Amino acid sequence: MPLPPSKTPVTWGLIAANTAVFLLQQVIGNLLLAFFALWNPSDQLFHPWQLLTYSFLHYDLMHIFFNMFALFMFGRPLELLWGRGRFAFYYVVCVLSASVIEIVDMNASHSLGPVIGASGGIFGLLLGFGWYFPRQRVLFLLFPVPIPAWLFVMLYGLAELFFGVTGAQAGVAHFAHLGGMLGGALAILYWRMRDNFGGNYNGS
């Protein structure tokens, strides 16, 4: 039976917010891109809030559909596991770390941007899912055989690294994806260290 939205309010809230912004983009897309997409800090269009707001913008229907589907699939079990407070913190950390790593890549490649999409946060959720549900079977579209979540995450991460380094798949922010996974790993390791040293975190 599907979980009611009240059980995972942050996940559903993020889906609703992304969908609302996407609909708004259809009306004033260029204005939203100018102010809220992630631009290189060397560009006059850059503003600090873009480190977070870029994740609510999407290029087209396919882009937002796959991101929101992944958010739905991987976000709900993690929010149930952690509680809404910890889950929201984790997602924001992944989005921010993705934007920071992407800015490093933009400077290295002399790109001005813009970068948009929730994929950095989604890849962080993917890492978290593989970490806490490693034996859960996941079906990958390009490899239509269910494989364990830990293997899915590892293969996907390696593919992103390959495409990012080689530039074989242009137009995709592969290093932002890796940055989201990095942020997720650091957040989980921080919590584990905190718990080991007697820290107490309220995840509700």
CA of 35: how far to CAs of 10, 31, 43, 103, in Å?
25, 6, 12, 16
Mean pLDDT, contiguous 10-residue spans, the chain (204 residues): 72 97 92 94 94 96 95 96 96 97 90 90 97 88 78 88 77 89 96 71 38
Give me the pLDDT at residue 202, please.
40
Give me the pLDDT at residue 144, please.
73
Give me the pLDDT at residue 1, please.
44
For residue 132, count other CB atoms closer than 10 A to its CB: 14
Give me the pLDDT at residue 164, please.
78
- Cα separation, 204 vs 194, whole angstroms: 17
Give me the pLDDT at residue 3, please.
57
Q: Are 115 and 50 a contacting pair, CB within 8 Å?
A: no
* Domain range summary for the chain, segments of one domain joined by +: 5-196
3-class state of residue 193 by DSSP: helix
Nearest CA to 120 out of 141, 89, 99, 90 is that of: 99
Is pTM beyond 0.75? Reply is yes
Give me the pLDDT at residue 203, please.
39
The architecture CATH gives domain 5-196: Up-down Bundle (1.20)
Tens-digit pLDDT profile for residues 6-22? 689 999 999 999 999 99
Dihedral (CA of 134, 138, 143, 147) sign: positive
Q: Are 108 and 198 a contacting pair, CB within 8 Å?
A: no
